[in-house]
Each structure stands twice: as structure tokens, then as C-alpha cells.
Amino acid sequence: MSEDVVLVSRDGPVAIVTLNRPQAMNALSAALRRALAATFRDLEADDSVRAIVLTGAGTRAFTAGLDLKELGQQGLGAANAEGPDDNPVKAIEQTGKPVIGAINGVAITGGFEVALACDVLIASQNARFADTHARVGIMPGWGLSQKLSRLIGPYRARELSLSGNFLDAATAERWGLVNRVVPADELLPAAVKLAHDMASIAPEFSRTYKRLIGDGYALPFGEAMALENSRSTAANARVSAADVEAARGQVQERGRSQ
């Protein structure tokens, strides 16, 4: 990867991807965006990877968003980029594998959008979120204006986006923005443990279920229910009674071991 701005390590079937510009609060430079897209393409193609954890280097920042110094020199094209090499949200969405965001510090503006591209968010007690688009004078182009209101409600979304104020980790959990908050030293172990749980699901089923949740969420409720019925009917017709019995035994055994 270019200048090691993205690091990848492995814990069995779990890949840990680290945004690695701690001296710049892991700001999303052009080099980092390209490296992240290449990383996610590689992980998607690697059948030995079943789940991914995304985090930032250091304790200050998950990512502070686009590199404003670069924007001042290169213009605002990246803010509305549609291709994954320039849009890190699209880069993350390239994979059908579960992606857990381990939010180790601040997630600001474009960094907030990157966090929301993950399937699950686990936050350190040090994590904070802020939408400073209005303060910078740049409209969001990676989904924040639409995703945030759907996750926490329009009143809370307007509070954050029209003030630029920070949201602490405890409040983010209370508002349903993150799944849970853990001490800083427990963040990566907690994220990796959950990733291993997700990695134990059959990959194609995991991919199909993730797609069903995402596609349904983008529809009005009635249409989403019809979508579930259609895809479920087709998928379940291929499952035999013997398959169900075998799976039942596995589920019972896992339940006894937890």
C-alpha cells in the first residue's frame, strides 16, 4: 500500500484494516482513499476472509474525514466522488462481508460517513462523532445527510448537522448510533470477537442476508416486507428438512457452549 497508509493484519478469518495516518488524525488523503479501495477489493476476493474490522491508528481519531489541506489544493471533487478509489464509503460497500467499525477516537464529517458505511459500530469511550459539513461550507456527498436521520431520527440529526457539535460515545449509544461502548483497551478485542462470531456463518448466507437487510432498509416498509417474502420463499425452497435438522444441532451445541 502507498506509504503504508492502510495496514492489514489477520486473526484467522478476520481481517483488521487500520487507517494509518495518526499524525494527521487519519485524514482521508487521496493516497489513503486509493489504498483503502484496493484493500477492500483484495479482501472481497480472498475467500479465507469472512469478516472485517475497520479502525484507526492511535487513540485520537478513527478518521477526521477528508484532508482539508489537500482539498484546498485539489478542489472538492472527492466530496462527490462516486467511484470507490475516491469515495471510501463506496470502497467499503464493495464487500458483501460483514464490516465492523471499531471507532477508537473522533469520527468527523467524512469520517462520520465512513463509520456509517460499516455494518456494526463498536465505540471506545474515547469516541466522538461530529458533522462539521455546515461549518466547513461543504455539502455532504457520501450519504450523511440521509443516513443519519434514518438512524437517530430527523430532530437529533438536525441538532448535530446544523450545530457541528460533538456527540460523545455514551450519548451515541443511547441514541442508537453505535451498538455498544467499551473501554479503549477493550475495543479491538471486542470488535474482533464479534467478527469471529460473524465469520462462523456460512459466507454466502451471510452475504445474502446482509444484502436483504440493506436492500429492504432502502425501501418503504410495505415494499421491504414484500422483498423479504419474495427472496425468502425462493431461498427456503432450496433448504431440506435434513439441512434444518443438522443446523438445529449446531445451534443447540453453540448455545450450550456460550
Average pLDDT over residues 87-109: 97
Domain extent for 245: 203-257
Concatenated DSSP letters for 32-49? HHHHHHHHHHHHHH-TT-
Shared domain check, 20 and 105: yes
CA–CA dist 32, 6 (Å, integer): 7
Average pLDDT over residues 22-41: 96
**Mean pLDDT taken over the chain:** 93
Shared domain check, 71 and 28: yes
Shared domain check, 13 and 42: yes
Average pLDDT over residues 125-154: 95
Q: Residue 71 pLDDT > 90, yes or no?
A: no
Out of 199, 214, 238, a domain closes at: 199
Q: Residue 1 pLDDT > 60, yes or no?
A: no
Question: Any idea which residue has 475467500 for its cell?
Answer: 47
Q: Is 154 exposed, middle or buried (0-12, 13-18, 19+ CB in 10 A)?
A: exposed
* Angle made by CA atoms 69, 23, 91, in degrees to the nearest 5: 70
Give 195's DSSP letter: H
Residues paired with 10 in a beta bridge: 15
* Count of CB atoms situated within 10 Å of the CB of 247: 12
Out of 180, 199, 218, a domain closes at: 199
CA–CA dist 53, 233 (Å, integer): 32
CA–CA dist 57, 69 (Å, integer): 20
Shared domain check, 208 and 191: no
pLDDT at 255: 62
Q: Is 220 exposed, middle or buried (0-12, 13-18, 19+ CB in 10 A)?
A: exposed
Shared domain check, 26 and 125: yes
Shared domain check, 246 and 171: no
Q: What is the pLDDT of residues 177-202, one digit of tens each?
A: 999 999 999 999 999 999 999 999 99
Average pLDDT over residues 162-187: 98
Shared domain check, 142 and 211: no
Domain count, the chain: 2
Shared domain check, 125 and 13: yes
Reported confidence tier of residue 2, pLDDT bands at 50, 70, 90: very low
Shared domain check, 131 and 58: yes
pLDDT at 247: 74
Q: Which amino acid is at 209?
A: Y
* Edge-first strand listing for the sheet containing 106-108: 61-63, 106-108, 128-130, 167-168
Shared domain check, 235 and 190: no
Shared domain check, 140 and 75: yes
Shared domain check, 135 and 180: yes
Domain of 95: which CATH number? 3.90.226.10
Out of 184, 199, 214, a domain closes at: 199
pTM over 0.85, yes/no = yes
Q: Which residue has the higher pLDDT, 187 or 136?
A: 187
Question: Any idea which residue has 459539513 for its cell?
Answer: 133
